[in-house]
Amino acid sequence: MTSATQTGAERSRQGRLYLVPAPLDFGCDTQVPLADVMPQGTLETTARLTHWICESAKSARAYLKRVGALAPLALPLQTQQITELPHQIHKKGDHAGALGSGFDVRPLLGAALNGHDIGLLSEAGMPAVADPGSSVVRAAHDLGLEVVALTGPVSLLLALATSGLNGQNFAFVGYLPQDPAERGRRIRELETMALKTGQTQLFIETPYRNAALLQALLQNLQHNTRLSVSSGLTLPRAQTRSELVKAWRLQPVGPDNSTPAVFAIGR
Amino acid sequence: MTSATQTGAERSRQGRLYLVPAPLDFGCDTQVPLADVMPQGTLETTARLTHWICESAKSARAYLKRVGALAPLALPLQTQQITELPHQIHKKGDHAGALGSGFDVRPLLGAALNGHDIGLLSEAGMPAVADPGSSVVRAAHDLGLEVVALTGPVSLLLALATSGLNGQNFAFVGYLPQDPAERGRRIRELETMALKTGQTQLFIETPYRNAALLQALLQNLQHNTRLSVSSGLTLPRAQTRSELVKAWRLQPVGPDNSTPAVFAIGR
């Protein structure tokens, strides 16, 4: 049954899939006041949902508890239905299925076919953006469910906006390779693309490798390429440093190895 | 004077540049309740600012009036200092200056050097993302000002999340060419990239050309490419249709020509 062949009545008996943003303070030593980063409408919809698909049930419960302090939860936490994304998605990426080696995530959406709204929740930021979950969204479309994204903080876009780099043409390419030689090659490849086409290139790293990535960038980038590093976005210690590589080289100080960061290069 | 050579005391005497999000209902027939899309913290910071750089002074005043109904403005609207972005930026893009043919936007930031916080505001969504303003952000960094982006709705990211397409590797490429032959070529070029690398390709169109763009996409894309179209995001009539091109061809119905839409293709 797809949206193309469904009647309005069929659709109205089904639940929706909500993409529920989480704050960007996961794993950080300070918590952001939720009212600083979540619209009241997002908090109220989050509080109303009772069926969840998430990265980690433990983090989901911790976040819903924070929401409950601002908007009463529809059901006590222990009676909510919380399902974790299968490990295969974390390991193989969301779309292994499309390439023939995957598995079927549609059963996760059974509650929606029975009329319950379902929330998809990441540990930080917007699910399915720089995070797993897009295969669940795709399955929802294939089942003819409505999919609705709620407004909340998205680190990539906050980083792009504060970078001063081209925001009318940009790409996010995920993580760079860990092998130093491969990483160097990839950095130079991304720089060539950024300088040639003007397309800003964004990427991330797990925080404990921030310093290593910054060092690799300063080793491989050209003097006049602009490098922007945003860290701790939405936290009180949020910071964006955007300068030419030659200025970074004079003072090669980036985010510490415990603060989430987004890196961007461009001309 | 750059951030690298400034002392803490110098920085603390300067104002900051805030990137202030606007709702996505600009030019639409319905208005979104601000509490649905703006965190209270964003509204309070917006209300506190009295110096603005914006796309259009008229739209900026209209939006600040809406904010004032939820959070008291620090100064009456008619006494706020509201400056429009120069026409050259709209015409030539933000970074003509870097290529030697531009002009200096630093004078726009004079108030910040005198200790006033300044807000940069678009007509819809996040300034400097799929919208002008990045040259102002860049100038702020060059002057050693702190730049802070406030959380709010960003149509590109809401569209990407709801598409079910790869959100761990994606690009936004702005507008496609208007000439039909060139547009067809560009569509096939973007599709090749999306299918080869798995990088989702996002683009936009002015609403009155939505139907023409959809038609061009269905003429040029391959049968098994996935096409997602999100329209009216955050509005009551928000909708995302994400299906294979062959399903779109059976029912080629997209957004009307008055609703802002974001298009995405991928495998």
Cα distance between residue B29 and residue B26, in whole Å: 9
Cα distance between residue B104 and residue B106, in whole Å: 6
Q: What is the pLDDT of residue B11?
A: 63
For B71-100, what is the mean pLDDT?
84
Helices marked H in A151-209 — which ranges? 155-163, 180-197
Four-point Cα dihedral B148, A261, B151, A141, nearest 10: 150
CATH 3.40.1010.10 fits B8-149, yes or no: yes
For every residue of A80-118, DSSP letters joined together read SEEEEPPHHHHHH-TTTGGGTS----GGGGHHHHTT--E
- Quote the radius of gyration of chain A (alpha carbons, Å): 20
Residue of A nearest to B131 (CA): A168
Cα distance between residue B52 and residue B84, in whole Å: 8
Q: What is the pLDDT of residue A183?
A: 98
C-alpha dist (Å) from residue A111 to A101, A106, B61: 26, 10, 45
- Tell me the pLDDT band of B112, cut-offs 50, 70 and 90: very high
Element (H, E) at B12: helix B8-13
Cα distance between residue A221 and residue A174, in whole Å: 18
- Going from N- to C-terminal start, the domains of chain B cover 8-149, 155-266
What pTM value is reported for the model? 0.94
B73: amino acid identity, one letter: L
Is the pLDDT at B71 greater than 80? The verdict is yes
Chain A neighbors of B127, CB-CB under 8 A:
161
Contact criterion met (CB below 8 Å) for B121 and B52: yes
Q: How far is A166 from chain B (nearest CA, A)?
A: 6
Give the tens place of pLDDT for each residue, A200-237: 999 999 999 999 999 999 999 999 999 999 999 999 99
For B68-83, what is the mean pLDDT?
97
Report helix, strand or coil for B86.
coil
Four-point Cα dihedral A244, A247, A252, A254, nearest 10: -50
Q: What is the pLDDT of residue B88?
A: 81
Q: In this structure, which topology does domain A155-266 adopt according to CATH?
A: 3.30.950
Share of chain B above pLDDT 90, in %: 87
Contact criterion met (CB below 8 Å) for B89 and B102: no
Q: How far is B58 from chain A (nearest CA, A)?
A: 23
Is the pLDDT at B100 greater than 90? The verdict is no
Mutation target vs A (from B46, B158, B189; most A CBs, 10 A cutoff): B158
Give B49's Cβ-side CA count (13 Å radius). Answer: 30
Give the tens place of pLDDT for each residue, B116-129: 999 999 999 999 99
Test A154 with B157 for CB contact under 8 angstroms: yes
Residue of B nearest to A134 (CA): B164
Sequence-distant (≥ 6) Cβ neighbours of residue A62 within 8 angstroms:
none
Q: What is the pLDDT of residue B1?
A: 38
Give the tens place of pLDDT for each residue, A133-162: 999 999 999 999 999 999 999 999 999 999
Tell how strand B170-175 and strand A170-175 pair up: antiparallel
Phi, psi of A129, rounded to the nearest 5 degrees: -120, 115
Contact criterion met (CB below 8 Å) for B125 and B153: yes
For B144-154, what is the mean pLDDT?
97
The residue ranges of chain A whose pLDDT is under 50 are 1-4, 99-101
Query: What is chain B's mean pLDDT, rounded?
Result: 93
Helices marked H in A143-244 — which ranges? 155-163, 180-197, 210-220
Q: Find the CB nearest A167 among B42, B128, B166.
A: B128
- Tell me the pLDDT band of B13, cut-offs 50, 70 and 90: confident
Test B238 with A148 for CB contact under 8 angstroms: yes
Closest to A264 in 3D by CA, of A243, A247, A249 = A243
Q: Find the CB nearest A171 among B157, B171, B267.
A: B171
Is the pLDDT at B96 greater than 50? The verdict is yes
Q: What is the pLDDT of residue B10?
A: 63
Test A149 with B167 for CB contact under 8 angstroms: no
Test A36 with B42 for CB contact under 8 angstroms: yes
Is the pLDDT at B91 greater than 80? The verdict is no
- Tell me the pLDDT band of B223, cut-offs 50, 70 and 90: very high
Test A4 with B170 for CB contact under 8 angstroms: no
Is the pLDDT at B196 greater than 60? The verdict is yes
The interface predicted TM-score (ipTM) is 0.94
Q: Where are the beta strands (DSSP E) in B2-98?
A: 17-20, 51-54, 81-84
Q: What is the pLDDT of residue A90?
A: 78
Q: What is the pLDDT of residue B6?
A: 62
Test A40 with B37 for CB contact under 8 angstroms: no
Element (H, E) at B211: helix B210-220
Q: What is the pLDDT of residue A100?
A: 47
Tell me whether the CATH fold assigned to A8-149 matches the one assigned to A155-266: no
Distance from CA of residue B205 to its chain's centroid? 13
C-alpha dist (Å) from residue A167 to B90, B131, B153, B166: 14, 7, 15, 20
Mutation target vs B (from A16, A131, A158; most B CBs, 10 A cutoff): A158
Helices marked H in chain A — which ranges? 8-13, 34-37, 40-48, 57-68, 87-92, 110-113, 134-142, 155-163, 180-197, 210-220, 245-250
Closest to B151 in 3D by CA, of B14, B44, B233, B15 = B44
